[in-house]
Amino acid sequence: MKASEREQAIAAADETCPRCGAARQPDQSYCLDCGLRLPAVTGRLASLRRRWIRRFGWYPGDWMWISLLTFVVAIAGAATAIALNASAASANGPIFTATSQVTVTQPAPVPATTTAVDTSTLPTPPGPTTTTPTKPSPGPQNGRFTWPANENGWTIVLVSYPKRSGAASARQTAAQAAKSGLPQVGVLDSSNFASLQPGYLVVFTGIYGSKTDADDAVSTAHQAGFGGAYSRQIAR
């Protein structure tokens, strides 16, 4: 990604909502369209976010720093526990092992008493029923999956970019999402769908028949590095 495109991505992260792509002000705390608590655009966290985008061209979300801090604390706690256990073991002195054999006598088995039960009159329990969730096909690996014409459904929105300046960033994000293993990744123009706010390029993954199926797959998008991903209906 070129330097100018990364600066456009930084501007999009600072000036739009990461969930729905609506415009925001620097001092705005919540999105006026979807109600999301907006990330701060000033301070140390915002500075780290901009540095990440300038270096890699995309940003997984502010949750990454909390996860990293938790991971470091967990490692420090594990190291401390290992050191304490080693110190306690050395303080207990040497361990002696008996050299003589000890004979263990096994107790005599107690015969089990069984009572015959006539099962010919018992009803046959019904077999278990399972519901297999709908899974989308993998789709192309370059992030160029196209939403089928005249088809409505549910999908997972990864990131939204302003249409006037975010085309390159949207394609870059879609390619990154496809490489991470997310299925059916593509970019759609929100102006072509009545259920979306016009004026944005929406990076999406998957086509689902119901909101429940889409909601179940949101966690997969979060694990792939898109902490702001959410389910959304796509209707013309």
Q: What is the pLDDT of residues 63-76, one digit of tens each?
A: 666 777 788 788 88
Quote the percentage of the chain above a pLDDT of 90. 36
Q: Residue 165's domain is classified under what CATH number?
A: 3.30.70.1070
Q: Is 36 within 8 Å of 56 (Cβ atoms)?
A: no
Domain with 160, as residue range(s), is 153-234
Is 128 part of a structural domain of the chain?
A: no
Structural domains counted in the chain: 2
pLDDT category at 134 given cuts 50, 70, 90 is: low
- pLDDT tier at 108, thresholds 50, 70, 90: low
Q: 37 has which bridge partners?
A: 30
Give start and end residues of each alpha helix (H) in 21-102: 44-56, 63-91
* pLDDT, mean of residues 24-49: 83
The radius of gyration of the chain from alpha carbons, rounded to an integer in Å, stands at 28
Query: Is residue 132 included in any domain, yes or no?
Result: no
What pLDDT is recorded for position 160?
94
Last residue of a domain, one of 42, 64, 86: 64
Q: At what angle do helices 167-179 and 3-15 cross, to 10 degrees?
A: 90
> Is residue 136 included in any domain, yes or no?
no
Residue 140, in any domain of the structure: no
Last residue of some domain: 64, 97, 113? 64
Report if residue 111 sits inside a domain: no
Q: Residue 130: pLDDT above 50?
A: no
Give the DSSP per-residue string, 84-127: HHHHHHHHT-------S----PPPPPPPPP------TTSPPPPP
91 falls in which pLDDT band (50, 70, 90)?
A: low
| 208 sits in which H/E element | strand 200-208
- Residue where a domain terminates, one of 32, 64, 96: 64
| Helix, coil or strand: residue 31 | coil
pLDDT by residue (tens digit) across 145-177? Answer: 999 988 999 999 999 999 998 899 999 999 999
Q: Please say if the pLDDT value at position 127 is more than 60.
A: no
Q: Is the pLDDT of residue 99 over 60?
A: no
Domain assignment present for residue 125? The answer is no
Asked whether residue 198 is domain-assigned, the answer is yes
Residue 118 maps to a domain = no
